[in-house]
Amino acid sequence: MNIFRFAGDMTHLISILVLLLKIYATKSCSGISLKTQELYAIVFVARYLDLFTDFISVYNTVMKLVFIGCSLAIVWCMRLHRVVRRTYNKDVDTFRHYFLVLGCFLLALFVHEKFTFQEVLWAFSIYLEAVAILPQLVLLQRSGNVDNLTVQYVFFLGAYRAFYILNWIYRYLTEPHFGRWIASVAGLVQTALYADFFYYYFISWKNNAKLQLPA
């Protein structure tokens, strides 16, 4: 465990807690893409299959349970909570995310570390996580100005993967045979997707204006 990875896990946790706070405090999920939340639930379930087979550390197990639990709770809230579900605006959340699932699964069938059930699903979850934010970014663009908590959610989510890239560089330099190419390349793609969002977030923060994304 290095400081970059720990910082990444903490910002990832913060992003999920910010989202839960927003939904719980405002009893509203306007501006949040249910499709992105569903993709994240699939990412965590597909990636943490080893939860009960490989014990790595208490920290690892607890964090996996928290991530799976929170992502399923958010999807449950947005789909079934009698108050929150009415604030979900499905006609702006129109990204066809099933194509993302299919594309990532096909890619995982061809590009993986080992051709085993767990490894293919792990690669699938890595690819899917890289693109899972797309429905949310499309929704932000469509709805123009959005509330701060949603923007902070995306911001922390981007920061988490940026920390992980520093973690992979650090581990590559310090551990002899550390090769995590699939996660590193997908992580770079993921962080690049956020880069333009960060740019507009920084510009709006500098001008102390509301976030304006190009249509």
Partner 1 sequence: ERNGSSKDEL
CA-closest candidate to residue 14, choices 160, 125, 190: 160
Give 136 or 167: the residue with its C-beta nearer to partner 1.
Answer: 167
Give 19 or 84: the residue with its C-beta nearer to partner 1.
Answer: 19
Number of H helices, E strands in the chain: 8, 0
CA-closest candidate to residue 70, choices 133, 23, 33: 23
Q: How far is the CB of 146 from partner 1 (least distance, A)?
A: 27
**Contacts made by residues 40-46, CB under 8 angstroms, sequence distance 24+:** 40/71, 40/129, 40/132, 41/68, 41/71, 41/72, 41/74, 41/75, 42/101, 42/125, 42/128, 43/71, 43/125, 43/128, 43/129, 43/132, 44/68, 44/71, 44/125, 46/121, 46/122, 46/124, 46/125, 46/128
Give 57 or 208: the residue with its C-beta nearer to partner 1.
Answer: 57
Give 59 or 99: the residue with its C-beta nearer to partner 1.
Answer: 59
102-132 burial string, b = 16+ CB within 10 Å, else e? eebbebbeeebeeeeeeebbbbbbbbbbbbb
- Contact residues toward partner 1 (CB under 8 A) are 1, 5, 9, 12, 50, 54, 56-57, 59-60, 63-64, 67, 113, 122, 164, 167, 175, 177-178, 180, 183
Give 64 or 142: the residue with its C-beta nearer to partner 1.
Answer: 64
Q: How far is the CB of 63 from partner 1 (least distance, A)?
A: 5
Q: How far is the CB of 105 from partner 1 (least distance, A)?
A: 19
Give 95 or 164: the residue with its C-beta nearer to partner 1.
Answer: 164
Q: Rounded distance, CA 161 to CA 135, Å?
A: 18
The token pair at 143 is 């709805």
Q: How far is the CB of 163 from partner 1 (least distance, A)?
A: 12
